[in-house]
């Protein structure tokens, strides 16, 4: 298991693109890339990139989302089930590296999708629920720390068996 911190996401995911490209060029196998993207904000109302998603995922912003490409789909049910023992966990499987839903490509997992690796983004859905996203008001007192603790426990349970 590698734990990697990427930089320059907002400038075109330069760090994650460099690693995905290097791994692919060297023929490195990868079981699953997991991108942790905004994990601690909850709210009463959740927004979505597509209106039909509200019918599937609900109105409240009280869950953690696991967004994966089709290659990762075999791992998603078990991962979500184990995480779900600690935090409400909802899964979104996206075909074609998420190109039809560009909002799900806005993190460091997408260069791995583009390099044909299995990858997931674990997220509280960031700007789709958090009005403080990339604002000066994005401070620790706006976060739901018990929710973050539950997400952390869920990740430990979910990723510990992969």
The tens digit of pLDDT for each residue in 12-27 reads: 788 899 999 999 999 9
Structural domains counted in the chain: 1
Give the pLDDT confidence score for residue 151 in this predicted structure: 98
Residue 10 above 80 pLDDT? Answer: no
Mean pLDDT across 93-117: 93
DSSP letter, residue 136 = T
Q: What is the mean pLDDT of the chain?
A: 93
Structure tokens at 32: 């699953």
3 within domain boundaries: no
Task: For residue 49, name the pLDDT band (cuts at 50, 70, 90).
Answer: confident
Model confidence band, residue 85 (pLDDT cutoffs 50, 70, 90) = very high
- Residue 92 inside a domain? The answer is yes
Who has greater pLDDT, 52 or 84?
84
> Which pLDDT belongs to residue 50?
85
pTM of the predicted structure, to 2 decimals: 0.93
Residue 23 domain-assigned (yes or no) = no
The boundaries of the domain holding residue 130 are: 31-157
- The phi and psi torsions of 30 (rounded to 5 degrees) equal -145, 120
The SS3 call for residue 64 is strand
Residue 2 included in any domain: no
Tell me the sheet residues that pair with 69: 94
87 domain residue, yes or no:
yes
Q: What are the backbone angles phi and psi of residue 119, rounded to the nearest 5°?
A: -150, 150
- Strand-pairing partners, residue 61, are 43
User: Has residue 10 been placed in a domain?
Assistant: no
Structure tokens at 68: 């994966």
Looking at the predicted structure, is the pLDDT value of residue 69 above 80? Answer: yes
Model confidence at 124: pLDDT above 80 = yes
pLDDT band at residue 162 using 50, 70 and 90 as cut-offs: low
- In 3-state terms, the chain is what percent helix, strand and coil (to 5)? 40, 15, 45
Over residues 131-153, the pLDDT tens digits come to: 999 999 999 999 999 999 999 99
pLDDT bucket at 43, cuts 50 / 70 / 90 = very high
Q: Is residue 147 part of a domain?
A: yes
Does 12 reside within a domain? Answer: no
């Amino acid at each position: 298991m590698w734990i990697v911190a990427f930089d320059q996401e907002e400038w075109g995911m330069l760090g994650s693109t460099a690693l995905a490209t290097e791994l692919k060029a060297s023929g490195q196998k990868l079981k699953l890339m997991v991108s942790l993207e905004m994990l601690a904000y909850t709210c009463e109302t959740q927004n979505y990139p597509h209106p039909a998603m509200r019918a599937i995922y609900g109105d409240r912003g009280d869950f953690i989302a696991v967004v994966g490409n089709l290659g990762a789909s075999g791992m998603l049910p078990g991962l979500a089930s184990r995480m779900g023992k600690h935090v409400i966990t909802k899964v979104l499987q996206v075909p074609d590296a998420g190109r039809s839903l560009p909002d799900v490509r806005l993190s460091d997992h997408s260069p791995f999708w583009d390099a044909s690796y299995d990858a997931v983004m674990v997220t509280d859905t960031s700007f789709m629920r958090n009005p403080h996203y990339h604002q000066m008001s994005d401070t620790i007192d706006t976060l739901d720390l018990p929710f973050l603790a539950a997400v952390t426990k869920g990740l430990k349970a979910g990723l510990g068996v992969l």
